[in-house]
Structure 1
């Protein structure tokens, strides 16, 4: 066990020494890996923020019936009766003018602005959920409600949210495809870099093989090199995303204040950050493993 730890420590110290000897080349390599990984990670971050923003919005299609401002109490009771007896209505709730007015003020922080109005301009409304979630069926229900007496307008809500979620699902697939393609490219980039290092140390490797060095001994420092390069690239990608998010939030804050909102783009969470950095290190390890094994297999051929 002590011998195994000593061998790994020796290989790691050798790799760190070589990395310190060429700081500029390693910074460029980390920048290339970081910029490449920041593309799928940035797309994932955008989709995650859109999902979080839409998370507080009701996604089930519903129809809101806005009654006429002068609708009499008998008409309201008639609409209530119709909704209870309608076979396509699952449930509904009545939202009075006063309650809607208070809800508008509380949700949007417009107490000062709306307080200047002398009269409540909002009508009574019914919020109706249909039994069917089929868009065509809900649209048919909306058209039927529009023809009822004292119904000024029937509005279909939340259908756009379903479309948004469908687009988010499509975006998730795009992230996976882009990450797979760029991950393959990074394995090739790291592998090619390690291959060049192997060529510069070819004579040293051949001599080591002649005196009995195992493939594991020869492979070890190159695996550490690829892993360290991948790790540095992952950290660089995280820094790029953090800086880009900070710049974007400067503009987002200005827009959010115009709508009395505190919305901000959230950074990568702890789990996603660890996945980004760890995945980058793994890609570096795979690239170096592929390059070293390919060279050693050629070297062992008679």
Structure 2
């Protein structure tokens, strides 16, 4: 299986843009608090693995200039076409990789990657060190498997357990190493080399690792219905790879996405239009360029 399913010509960057989750404002505030407290500037932000520009557009509210970088020219085209008029002039998109970041040496104030760094090779840290100015920040954040919050339904814990088991069983042959790293809350993500004098201490934060827990705040959540839930699921790499290998079964009872939706309906009695709350496990890794 190809490592970069998102660059596949059959993959819809438009659907990815429409249905992927948006990171909460509080995440950007936490990143900026770390960045600002250690002398970070607000000039140029570089967003790696930018896809159709979800994080890049958010960063443009906080930085003078944002360059989004992605290896998929299709993603870059969609990001460029969808740039809001109010952000044109502040946003630029380039085809490129994390291992060879296409910006000048020492020009970036922050490098971000939203649910993307698990696809980078460990050598990408050398590229980051080259383009970041001293005092610059790397902020890597990623969502894990979504879960139904405790206030979404009395059987939320059962739904989470059974839906996850069903999906993982159906998609296990379509999982890749990067997917596994993201689902582990980035615990296996390669960190910058220590004792080189280039990088400061790593600040690692994790929210809702085990799903919903009584009394624990859900850091990142959104409301949706089952139609939207299925559309979201189909933007995931493992689901996309299953669909490409089983095109005649997409939308049938053999489709894992349809099976999960049917399971949820059976447990809850929800219709396609019932609105519920979904939360996400979220990891954040931040480190300063010395």
TM-score by length of 1: 0.21
Structure number with higher helix proportion: 1
Give 1 or 2 for the bigger CA radius of gyration.
1
TM-score by length of 2: 0.21
